[in-house]
Amino acid sequence: MRVAVIGAGSWGTAVSWLLSGKGHEVSLWAREPEIAEGINSERHNPLYLRDIILSDRVVATSDIEQALRAVEAVVMVTPSIGVRSTAESMREHLAANVPVVVLSKGVETGSLMLMTEVLEDVLGNRERIAGLSGPNHAEEVSKGVPSATVVAAYEEQVGRLFQELFMGPSFRVYTNPDVVGVELCGASKNVIAVAAGMSDGLGYGDNTKATLMTRGLAEMARLGRRLGANPLTYMGLAGVGDLIATCTSRHSRNRGLGEHVARGGSVASYEAETKMVAEGAVSCISVDELARREGVELPITHQVRSILHEGGLLSMATEALMGREARDEWHGMGLVEDDQPE
């Protein structure tokens, strides 16, 4: 197939390597002309994953019309904050029936839409849209480290198309019809990973991180339940799988951001230092707002938002979380009789 990969960061580079390795022709769109020029002339991305060599099947461009010309499928890999504006620039150059899968993880600020909902809003034809999410660090996928992921689509044949597109010897792909659950997992787990990084930065131990991860998963599932997600999705690759990888890995931007902030840094200084976006810095606001709208309590998410954006103190956050009233472990999950407010 001829496939457009929209976004030439770490994930876009890894996806281009993966798809071209399967024989697909990849048109890789880079916002920065110098990245496109570097890929075409040197066969590697000059800024992200610089040690990964891309085959001649990958042709980069900073012209989005050229990137989308005659493509049979589109893979969107931009930061979530840029999905809407990028989709708007794609709209007039993309046929209405071309399948689109979004790998960006987040909830749009303001509208509180999931990324597939943003694409539907801009591009129309919801049936051709899918989302992909899982424990997939670009640094490992691009080196052929065995990995697995989930494709969630509104239409089964679209999910199967992207399953076949991505499936390879080192990259196993499952399908899941729960688009809401898969996307919410991807957005929410990044926020919990920031909290896990803060725990690392403060020098707390394994007990603390395990507590944050499991109670974070409970938060994620509570919100998913309210919005109609399948609870089993949270036990799968997009849920607990991605949560483990993002909270524990040295490759995790979100965990790294939390550790950086706990040691005195800020969101701005982290992004300036790494040249990368930690999605949890945005998602902590939009996921918190989504939960407020739905009347669901997310205490960890709320504390991360307070620390990153509202001048909250880590010491106060620890006290607030540890001092919450005693409750049943499955509070708000719908697994036991519980008439307490969520």
Percent of the chain whose pLDDT exceeds 90? 90
So what's the pLDDT on residue 342?
41
Task: Indicate whether 34 pLDDT > 90.
Answer: yes
- Considering only CA atoms, give the Rg of the chain: 20
Return the CATH number at 124.
3.40.50.720
pTM: 0.92
Q: How many domains does the chain have?
A: 2
Helices (H), the chain: 10-21, 33-42, 64-68, 83-90, 115-123, 138-141, 156-166, 179-202, 206-226, 242-248, 253-262, 267-274, 280-294, 299-309, 314-322
Among residues 143, 189, 209, 275, the one annotated as catalytic is 189
**CA-CA distance, 57 to 170, in Å (whole number)?**
19
- Final residue of a domain: which of 119, 146, 177? 177
Q: What are phi and psi of 156, to 5 degrees?
A: -60, -40
DSSP-based three-state secondary structure for 319? helix
Judge if 285 and 157 occupy the same domain.
no
State which residues form the domain around 163.
2-177
Return the CATH number at 213.
1.10.1040.10
Judge if 223 and 265 occupy the same domain.
yes
Write the pLDDT tens digit of every residue in 60-100: 999 999 999 999 999 999 999 999 999 999 999 999 999 99
Write the pLDDT tens digit of every residue in 284-340: 999 999 999 999 999 999 999 999 999 999 888 888 888 888 877 777 776 544 444
pLDDT-based confidence at 2, cuts 50/70/90? very high
Write the pLDDT tens digit of every residue in 243-267: 999 999 999 999 999 999 999 999 9
Q: Is 22 known to be catalytic?
A: no
Query: What residues have CB less than 8 Å from 89, skipping those under 6 apart?
Result: 64
DSSP-based three-state secondary structure for 71? coil
Judge if 245 and 99 occupy the same domain.
no
